[in-house]
Amino acid sequence: MEFDLLLRRARLADAAPDGLVDIGVKGGVIAAIAPELGQDAGEVLDVAGGFVSPGFVETHIHLDKSCIIDRCGCAPGRNPHRAMERVAAVKSTFTVEDVNARARGTLERAISHGTTIMRTHCEVDPGVGLRGFHGVRALVDAYKWAIDLQICVMPQEGLLDSPGTEALMVEALRTGATVIGAAPNYDRDRHGQIRRIFELAQEFDVDIDMHLDSGTDPNDLDALLVCELTEQIGWQGRVAFGHGTKIASATPEHQDRIGRRMAEAGVSLAVLPATDLFLMGRDQDHDIRRGVVDAHRLMAQGALCNISTNNVQNPFTPFGDAQLIRMANLYCNVIQRGDAQELRQAWDMFTTNSAKVLRRKDYGIAVGNPADLVVVDAPTPVDAIRSISPVLAGFKRGRRSFTRQRAELHPPG
């Protein structure tokens, strides 16, 4: 048999409506892309002009604390919310089994919405110990058939002001975490935490992915120190940060300078619109600021930016289904970018750009790459974002990982 899998009449992003191709997969790898590859395959799926994309890439999600909103609750109305404290209050009750079950549910949702590569941030501190980490780590192997899952260990409740946390981070780095994170807003000495994380990253030779610059003062950016340290230790292309809402409060010219600085230092930004929209502007009672960075502006200056989910159904974001197309729709709506070209760029923000953040050299629909493919129920990336189109089927290394049925109407008679 020539192929294990054959996707027939696929439309790739940016292809003309009549420029359909067949994608042949052999041994988990894309073996051929051509207009007519015959029928000689183990599984043949005729997508009939449907849009086929590389699987989606999530770089910033918290599986360990997903789906706990029923335990933590939410402050009603515009009362002070204190998301971190609400999670911290229940974290000591987490067991490995509990984390594993919740994380599994969220991971399966992500898979069913087309995600094939994921970085999950996982917190350790004396309250939860390594239970969150162990609950998530067990999923790395268990779900290899559908997703490449990597763990970024982070000190959500502070590092310097939280004795015992660093030892837990080191233990996680020795036993399966492959990326190091940070949350400097939760230490009194923010820069001290950032510097210590860079030291640990060097010691363990791991990439860095920080929670940075949530707030409103664009003249108080930790991202600038991060750019400086990235250059100092030669980590260009290996450092990412999420949120950066302070950048949204900067003037356009200031934003451009920040974008150029990020590009120069090889530091990328993950926009996390769901959490930022839910948490920002809590000091206001009307005309509430959005606090979502216009990453398109930073990308125009050469910075690498992507979109991610962040929190799912916890006090940081009481909503969510780990659906990246929906997140791109939300982001574009909030930053008021609806032009086709802008939406096309937003598609890259959870595919190509996210893959670059994770330094995947084998990503995309090309001969020789792993056959991580999804069939989207829309003709183009732009249509998919406009209408939050469902993903109908996914393949991980050429093996089908999920199927979603199209809705069917039943008119009378």
Q: What is the binding site for Zn ion (CB under 5 A)? A: 310
Distance CA 337, CA 348 (A): 15
Of 278 and 395, nearer to Zn ion (C-beta) is 278
d(CA 26, CA 247): 46
Shortest Cβ 47–Zn ion spacing (Å): 35
Q: Min. distance of Cβ 267 from Zn ion in angstroms? A: 17
4: tokens are 């294990």
Q: Which helix (H) or strand (E) holds 119?
A: strand 115-123
Cβ 116 vs Cβ 396: under 8 Å: yes
- Residue nearer to Zn ion on the CB measure, 274 or 346: 274
What number of other Cβ atoms are within 10 A of residue 238's Cβ? 20
Minimum distance from CB of 65 to Zn ion (Å)? Answer: 9
**Quick one: 162 or 310, whose CB is closer to Zn ion?**
310
What lies within 8 Å, CB to CB, of 323 at 6+ separation is 109, 110, 113, 309, 388
Per the DSSP assignment, residues forming a β-bridge with 159 are none
Q: How far is the CB of 315 from Zn ion (least distance, A)?
A: 13
The C-alpha angle with vertex 52 and arms to 46 and 56, in degrees rounded to 5, equals 140
Nearer to Zn ion, 274 or 376 (CB): 274
CB of 321 to Zn ion, least distance (A): 17
Q: Which is nearer to Zn ion, 119 or 326 (CB)?
A: 119
- Radius of gyration in angstroms for the set of CA atoms belonging to the chain, rounded to a whole number: 21
The pair phi, psi for residue 239, each rounded to 5°, is -125, 130
What DSSP string describes 150-202? EEEEE-TT-STTSTTHHHHHHHHHHTT--EEEE-GGGSSSHHHHHHHHHHHHH
CA dist., res. 339 & res. 188, Å (int): 43
User: For residues 65 and 360, which CB has a smaller minimum distance to Zn ion in the complex?
Assistant: 65
Closest CA to 309 of 337, 348, 349, 249: 349
* Nearer CB in complex with Zn ion: 270/374: 270
Q: In 3D, which of 16, 36, 14 has the Cα closest to residue 24?
A: 36
CB of 179 to Zn ion, least distance (A): 13
The nearest distance, CB 272 to Zn ion, in angstroms, is 6
Q: How far apart are CA 70 and CA 218, in angstroms?
A: 35
CB of 362 to Zn ion, least distance (A): 26
Q: Which is nearer to Zn ion, 310 or 353 (CB)?
A: 310
- Nearer to Zn ion by Cβ, of 310 and 380: the residue is 310
Handedness of CA 91, 95, 98, 103 (dihedral sign): positive
Which residue number, 3 or 278, has a Cβ lying nearer to Zn ion?
278
Query: Are the beta carbons of 71 and 92 closer than 8 angstroms?
Result: no
Closest to Zn ion by CB, 7 or 139: 139
Nearest Cα neighbor of 53 from 363, 411, 304 is 363
Residues 6+ apart with CB under 8 A from 286: none
- Considering the complex, what minimum distance in angstroms separates the CB of residue 60 from Zn ion? 6
Write down the least CB distance from residue 198 to Zn ion, Å: 19
Residue nearest to Zn ion (CB): 310
Which among 213, 218, 268 is positioned nearest to 240, based on CA atoms? 268
Q: C-beta of 372: minimal distance to Zn ion in Å?
A: 24
Q: Which two tokens stand for residue 391?
A: 């993903």
Could you tell me whether strands 51-54 and 373-376 are parallel, antiparallel, or unpaired per DSSP bridges? antiparallel
